[in-house]
Chain A
């Protein structure tokens, strides 16, 4: 009996129920998506790291004797060590004009490395003793269509060598493989090649020596202690300071993504669940108010309170079930899409979107709980109704004479229709506030996704058009005298060249320290510039240094403080320089000095590490050809290409997420406004029909309803902007890492677009409900009492 009523009620309320179910579906979908993706990444990562024995501590040096290996292995807490020869190279690929860069990494002459093992996708590892065989990472191979047996050229120590591909690999160090100067992976221009140790020792004069070490720890090892000991061992050999996974570029990026996903799981699904709970509350409260007399009758004929509560709970659950079903299907499909998107960025042997049942169970339970929480108060009011009271009409609603004023006295210059709308709004302040909030949240959600455009634009402008304005950065194989800049200027197509010197160093302040590259240029430069907090170019001071804000904060230094500097040149000398200023920089941790200051600090005279160049675009091919044949150039970063790749990648990603967020925002807006309008209409059908009887037009009658909605929707805009700004700030903070940060820039058009989308959706929802006003039954309201 009650179940028949349930089906009939749902049939009657289907549009409202569906709107709520869709909001719930969004909650379920985002929950499954975020949790599923988090698990997928997390599980895959740890499985892959375990299987390949990814290192936990890393360090590099200039040239350390192989016999240090046993000393490293005997550090308390170290379980395995791999010493390697790691060298940057320029790759020359037939048919590709611009030089690619790559990293050569040695694997032991026999067997597999003890740390950072390779996962072989196809082919085999190089034969021991073969000096021209290499196994390359999959992303690079795929970008060029390389298969085992194919060949390409590299410039090893100035000599062109042809390498033969024996296998395609994946490496835990390069799950996220990023080339020098790049901010997003460019698989075409960055390759990682593994060769046998003997081949690399021979090629780089590294017999019996290594310049890179990776190690794993035993359980309960003290990582900081191990790093300190490792630093001491490597210090005489140009050790540049040990670091752990959190500073490992590939893992740090994975971590940043995971942090984002976790934040998403914590913020977005709750928004949807909150709104659906509110909508359920609104619908049930109204339904129960309409069914007062029925409830009284049911109780009078002996239905128990429990039966009545269960009846409305079932209704809530039925709606939730639809939401969960839609959300689960959508979440699973989107999750697969997301996994394949990750597949493009992260090189894992497999990446499966987690579809474990418990995920769905969690999503279902959470949704049911939220819906029932929303329904609880309404259901309680049904249970608490004594049958006798229930069969009497409800007490008339009292209003307050706000917005009116005394008859004949001062009155707001608005029509009585407007007064009706406003009085109704303040009559139910909680509902009005929640509806406003419910409309503000989609605005906020849109701003949170759209602001990335503004921020990235500003970042691109700052990084590539104000700071690093060079077309390319050439890095020499070894430090050169100042004369080298003349040679760079003579390269074909070079319009301007600017020398720089870069030295690895450890900066300290008390117990805080950071290993970074000090970049030194001429005091006034035109190509690569250092920006102050207001994005203006600053002159490098003759003495002292400048630090980027994040680095200064990390070291707890403010301008005027002394920075302790230890160059990683194996000399162990410690110097102090004043911190002159703090700079604005979105990429990396940066320390700047003038070349003079750094030359004095190093005590080795005037030397340069490379040059930033501006290039005539028409001469690029000649320049590239020349660079590939110049042994003295060890590496080249193409800023222009990086910039374009960055923009394209980011825009693709933002494009996808904006599509999702716009859909989510539309669903919330329609869910909130449609339901709110329907419920208003239901509550005020009698009043509105009376107005029609007295000769008000459909338009005028609708204005009562639309004014009320409009007030809430308009109030929601500034609220949404505020919340959106807050969310965006959280997102920007979440992105911030030592690798890069995004500025929080929200341009006025972004606020406007977010508002327009929501206003549009609200208007459409309201107009759908408005059509019902045209169909009001005028005569029926005259025959019945309230």
Chain B
């Protein structure tokens, strides 16, 4: 996809001087130490970096699950860092789709119902069946999570995340628990969704090969963005070397 220059000028996310300090007893951990970044609408970003470098912390703050110690996060010009619990809940509900390493499906609901759970309260959702079709799970709709493979479960999680047509799709190690073949299927689903719904997508991964599917790649080190690379040519997930 070609980025529209106008949209690039008014970013979906604008993060400035973001710092997150965890105080555990005497020890002070700077999980984020002055992060600046902005993401454009429809952009797909990959976040790389060693363990403990602050990727998840950033994603959680951007997703409205956590608050920074200092700095600002703007979503379409609205400041998130000072928002109330209620405002953050509404923000997550209306704008953000999440995909996590451990799927976080509801075990007592079928695939279809897990998606319906979200579409029931969304503003302009697609139908659960449509969302499941998008990730290739048309024939698994009545399965409970316990009856599905890890890859299938992760695709249900993606269907759930995209069914509400979110503006943002935040994925923390979506392929972390999957083998390469399954990982490719999941990434294809994410790429397709990014393409078709235009959701700004951020994917955290430890797999450097995945970076080639992104528009931009951010590398984290010790709570900072150490480098930022724009991919001139992207490759489809199927060609990712695992």
- A residues neighboring B (CB under 8 Å): 396-399, 401, 404, 406-408, 415-417, 419-420, 423-424, 427, 686-687, 690-698, 700, 778-779, 781-786
Q: Does A690 contact B104, Cβ atoms closer than 8 Å?
A: yes
Interface string of B73-109 (1 = CB under 8 A from A): 0000000000000100111111010101110101111
CA distance A399 to B146 in the complex (A): 9
Question: Considering only CB atoms, which chain B residue lies closest to A697 in the complex?
Answer: B89
- B113 cross-chain contacts in A, Cβ below 8 A: 404, 416, 419
Q: Does A416 contact B117, Cβ atoms closer than 8 Å?
A: yes
Say which residue of B65, B101, B112 sits within 8 Å of A407 (CB atoms). B112
Closest-CB distance, B105 to chain A (whole angstroms): 8
B60 on interface, CB distance cutoff 8 Å:
yes
CA distance A781 to B172 in the complex (A): 13
Say which residue of A401, A427, A687, A700 sits within 8 Å of B110 (CB atoms). A401
Closest-CB distance, B232 to chain A (whole angstroms): 34
- B114 cross-chain contacts in A, Cβ below 8 A: 416
With A779-B66, A784-B102 as contacts: A695 and B144 at CB distance below 8 Å: no
Say which residue of A407, A424, A694 sits within 8 Å of B118 (CB atoms). A694
Question: Considering only CB atoms, which chain A residue lies closest to B97 in the complex?
Answer: A694
CA distance A705 to B93 in the complex (A): 20
- B112 cross-chain contacts in A, Cβ below 8 A: 407-408
Q: Does A695 contact B100, Cβ atoms closer than 8 Å?
A: no
Interface string of B101-139 (1 = CB under 8 A from A): 110101111101110111011000000110000000000
Q: Does B110 contact A417, Cβ atoms closer than 8 Å?
A: no
* Contact residues, B6-59 vs A (CB, 8 A): 56
Q: Does B120 contact A415, Cβ atoms closer than 8 Å?
A: yes
- A697 cross-chain contacts in B, Cβ below 8 A: 86, 89
Closest-CB distance, B140 to chain A (whole angstroms): 10
With A690-B104, A694-B118, A695-B89 as contacts: A396 and B145 at CB distance below 8 Å: yes
Question: Considering only CB atoms, which chain B residue lies closest to A424 in the complex?
Answer: B108
Question: Considering only CB atoms, which chain A residue lies closest to B57 in the complex?
Answer: A779
- B104 cross-chain contacts in A, Cβ below 8 A: 686, 690, 693, 781-782
Q: Does B98 contact A408, Cβ atoms closer than 8 Å?
A: no
Other than A420-B106, A691-B106, A782-B100, give 5 A-B pairs with Cβ distance below 8 A: A396-B146, A417-B117, A420-B108, A694-B92, A695-B92
CA distance A176 to B128 in the complex (A): 77
- A779 cross-chain contacts in B, Cβ below 8 A: 60, 65-66
With A404-B113, A694-B118 as contacts: A427 and B108 at CB distance below 8 Å: yes
Closest-CB distance, B137 to chain A (whole angstroms): 11
What would be 28 A-B contacts, judged by CB atoms less than 8 Å apart? A397-B146, A398-B144, A398-B146, A399-B107, A404-B109, A404-B110, A404-B113, A407-B142, A408-B112, A416-B106, A419-B108, A424-B108, A687-B106, A687-B107, A687-B108, A691-B106, A691-B117, A692-B89, A693-B98, A694-B92, A694-B98, A695-B96, A697-B86, A779-B60, A782-B56, A782-B100, A782-B102, A783-B56
B141 on interface, CB distance cutoff 8 Å:
yes
- A419 cross-chain contacts in B, Cβ below 8 A: 108-109, 113
CA distance A427 to B144 in the complex (A): 14
- B65 cross-chain contacts in A, Cβ below 8 A: 693, 778-779, 782
Q: Does A407 contact B89, Cβ atoms closer than 8 Å?
A: no
Say which residue of A694, A695, A785 sits within 8 Å of B90 (CB atoms). A695
Closest-CB distance, A356 to chain B (whole angstroms): 54
Closest-CB distance, B91 to chain A (whole angstroms): 8
Closest-CB distance, B90 to chain A (whole angstroms): 7
Closest-CB distance, B86 to chain A (whole angstroms): 7
The interface centre, meaning the residue of B56, B86, B117 with most chain A CB atoms within 10 A of its CB, is B117
Question: Considering only CB atoms, which chain B residue lies closest to A422 in the complex?
Answer: B108
CA distance A419 to B107 in the complex (A): 12
The interface centre, meaning the residue of A419, A420, A694 with most chain B CB atoms within 10 A of its CB, is A694
Q: Does A416 contact B120, Cβ atoms closer than 8 Å?
A: yes
- A692 cross-chain contacts in B, Cβ below 8 A: 89
Q: Does A406 contact B108, Cβ atoms closer than 8 Å?
A: no
Interface string of B165-193 (1 = CB under 8 A from A): 00000001000000000000000000000
With A398-B144, A696-B121 as contacts: A420 and B94 at CB distance below 8 Å: no
Q: Does B108 contact A695, Cβ atoms closer than 8 Å?
A: no
- B121 cross-chain contacts in A, Cβ below 8 A: 695-696, 700
- A785 cross-chain contacts in B, Cβ below 8 A: 102
- B98 cross-chain contacts in A, Cβ below 8 A: 693-694
With A396-B146, A415-B120 as contacts: A407 and B106 at CB distance below 8 Å: no
- B109 cross-chain contacts in A, Cβ below 8 A: 404, 416, 419-420, 423
Closest-CB distance, B130 to chain A (whole angstroms): 11
CA distance A670 to B94 in the complex (A): 38
Say which residue of B56, B90, B100, B107 sits within 8 Å of A396 (CB atoms). B107
Question: Considering only CB atoms, which chain B residue lies closest to A426 in the complex?
Answer: B108
Q: Does B172 contact A782, Cβ atoms closer than 8 Å?
A: yes
Closest-CB distance, A157 to chain B (whole angstroms): 87
- B142 cross-chain contacts in A, Cβ below 8 A: 401, 406-407
Closest-CB distance, B162 to chain A (whole angstroms): 13
Q: Does B100 contact A399, Cβ atoms closer than 8 Å?
A: no
Closest-CB distance, A703 to chain B (whole angstroms): 12
Closest-CB distance, A786 to chain B (whole angstroms): 8
CA distance A399 to B111 in the complex (A): 13
Question: Considering only CB atoms, which chain B residue lies closest to A421 in the complex?
Answer: B108
CA distance A415 to B113 in the complex (A): 10
- B141 cross-chain contacts in A, Cβ below 8 A: 407
- B118 cross-chain contacts in A, Cβ below 8 A: 694
CA distance A238 to B224 in the complex (A): 114
CA distance A731 to B23 in the complex (A): 63
Question: Considering only CB atoms, which chain A residue lies closest to B138 in the complex?
Answer: A407
Q: Does B93 contact A694, Cβ atoms closer than 8 Å?
A: yes
Question: Considering only CB atoms, which chain B residue lies closest to A416 in the complex?
Answer: B117
CA distance A786 to B100 in the complex (A): 13
With A416-B113, A782-B172 as contacts: A696 and B144 at CB distance below 8 Å: no
- B106 cross-chain contacts in A, Cβ below 8 A: 416, 420, 687, 690-691
- B145 cross-chain contacts in A, Cβ below 8 A: 396
CA distance A419 to B128 in the complex (A): 16
Closest-CB distance, B147 to chain A (whole angstroms): 8
Closest-CB distance, B51 to chain A (whole angstroms): 12
- A690 cross-chain contacts in B, Cβ below 8 A: 104, 106
Q: Which 9 A-B pairs have the closest CB atoms?
A: A695-B93, A407-B112, A396-B146, A695-B92, A416-B117, A423-B108, A407-B141, A690-B104, A399-B108
Closest-CB distance, A432 to chain B (whole angstroms): 14
Question: Considering only CB atoms, which chain B residue lies closest to A406 in the complex?
Answer: B142
- B100 cross-chain contacts in A, Cβ below 8 A: 782
Closest-CB distance, B57 to chain A (whole angstroms): 9
CA distance A585 to B109 in the complex (A): 61
- B160 cross-chain contacts in A, Cβ below 8 A: 694
- B56 cross-chain contacts in A, Cβ below 8 A: 782-783
Question: Considering only CB atoms, which chain A residue lies closest to B118 in the complex?
Answer: A694
Closest-CB distance, B236 to chain A (whole angstroms): 28
Closest-CB distance, B64 to chain A (whole angstroms): 9
